[in-house]
């Protein structure tokens, strides 16, 4: 199936540019967003189409994309008389880019099957910059035949899209991704603190290390801002805690202990208590400080 008409549900920092890439690629794109002003702004910028409900947006579409906040948000736009399943035609494809639990992905696949709709769970990595630049990494779960039908469409905002197995496996891969990011940030936080106490030039250290085995995206893009204690951009710790909760719940289902992930989650919780939940995840370095609340204020 070559998609001709698509819908995009959710115009946050990720969904807004992703939907824009679809419209710019020549697809007739209809959007729905809870905030009408954001949807109107998108339609003006990209010359797309606006729907008043998810069901209306999904009507007669070949593929419907979702990118919202959490499990409950996904259910709110999928189910019910105004949900996308009410508007989708048979043999259409529902693609969920939201980071949610694997259990929800499996649930959605079962609900779609009853309506003769195909489903792919497809969480993304790459952040707002990746969405804007069309360089996201997309981790997919579902049938190969369905994946093959969407891959050329999502190529407009992805540098890599990989099918990892049945429904739920895309979400499980995203869990692995988030644990890796959290671990790198913890290591980078401790390393930078040691470098600072040792009177090393942080910029010089980063330029030396980024080309070696210690190099990472986080080092190249966040080390200097962490050293400067600037955290007002990127992926908020409120969302990372949501993701880490998903990781820990999945681990519990396998009787698996993840002590590092638990420790990082606790550190982020303390930062949330200091009203820093909207700061980006690199603020983890502040959890090593012991200042007053006033000193932590951004």
**Residues catalogued as catalytic:** 174
Give, in order, the Cα–Cα distances in Å from 85 to each of 45, 78, 108, 113: 28, 6, 10, 11
Alpha-carbon span 137 to 131, nearest angstrom: 10
Alpha-carbon span 93 to 292, nearest angstrom: 51
Estimate the crossing angle of helix 237-253 against helix 169-197, to 10 degrees: 120
Within 10 Å of residue 294's Cβ, how many Cβ atoms? 6
Half-sphere exposure of 83 (CA within 13 A, CB side): 15
Alpha-carbon span 271 to 249, nearest angstrom: 21
Of 109, 169, 171, 118, nearest to 3 by C-alpha is 118
Cβ proximity of 157 and 179 under 8 Å: no
Task: Mention every residue, 6+ apart, whose C-beta is less than 8 A from residue 12.
Answer: 67, 68, 69
Residue with tokens 């290390």: 209
φ/ψ bin of 142: left (φ > 0), alpha (ψ from -120 to 50), beta (otherwise):
left
Identify the three-state secondary structure at position 115: coil
Q: Where in the chain does DSSP place strands (E)?
A: 5-9, 28-32, 49-50, 63-66, 93-96, 118-121, 124-125, 136-140, 158-163
């Amino acid at each position: 199936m070559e998609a001709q008409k698509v819908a995009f549900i959710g115009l946050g920092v990720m969904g807004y540019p992703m939907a824009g890439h679809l419209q710019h690629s020549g697809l007739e794109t209809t959007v729905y967003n809870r905030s009408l002003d954001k949807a109107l702004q998108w339609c003006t910028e990209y010359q797309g189409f606006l729907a008043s409900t998810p069901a209306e947006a999904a009507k007669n579409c070949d593929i419907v994309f979702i990118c919202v906040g959490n499990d409950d948000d996904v259910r709110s736009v999928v189910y019910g008389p105004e949900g996308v399943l009410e508007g989708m035609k048979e043999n259409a494809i529902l693609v969920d880019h939201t980071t949610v639990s694997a259990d929800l992905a499996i649930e959605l696949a079962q609900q779609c099957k009853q309506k003769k709709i195909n489903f792919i769970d497809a969480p993304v990595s790459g952040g707002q910059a990746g969405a804007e630049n069309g360089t996201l990494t997309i981790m997919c779960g579902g049938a190969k035949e369905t994946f093959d039908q969407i891959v050329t469409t999502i190529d407009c905002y992805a540098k890599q899209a990989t099918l990892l197995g049945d429904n739920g496996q895309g979400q499980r891969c995203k869990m692995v991704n988030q644990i890796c990011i959290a671990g790198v940030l913890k290591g980078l936080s401790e390393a930078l603190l040691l470098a600072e106490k040792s009177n090393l030039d942080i910029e010089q250290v980063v330029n030396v290390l980024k080309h070696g085995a210690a190099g990472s995206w986080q080092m190249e893009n966040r080390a200097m801002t962490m050293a400067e204690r600037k955290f007002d951009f990127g992926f908020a710790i409120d969302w990372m805690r949501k993701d880490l909760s998903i990781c820990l719940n999945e681990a519990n289902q396998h009787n698996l202990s993840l002590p590092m992930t638990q420790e990082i989650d606790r550190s982020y919780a303390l930062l949330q208590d200091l009203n820093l939940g909207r700061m980006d995840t690199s603020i983890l370095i502040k959890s090593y400080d012991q200042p007053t609340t006033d000193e932590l204020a951004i």
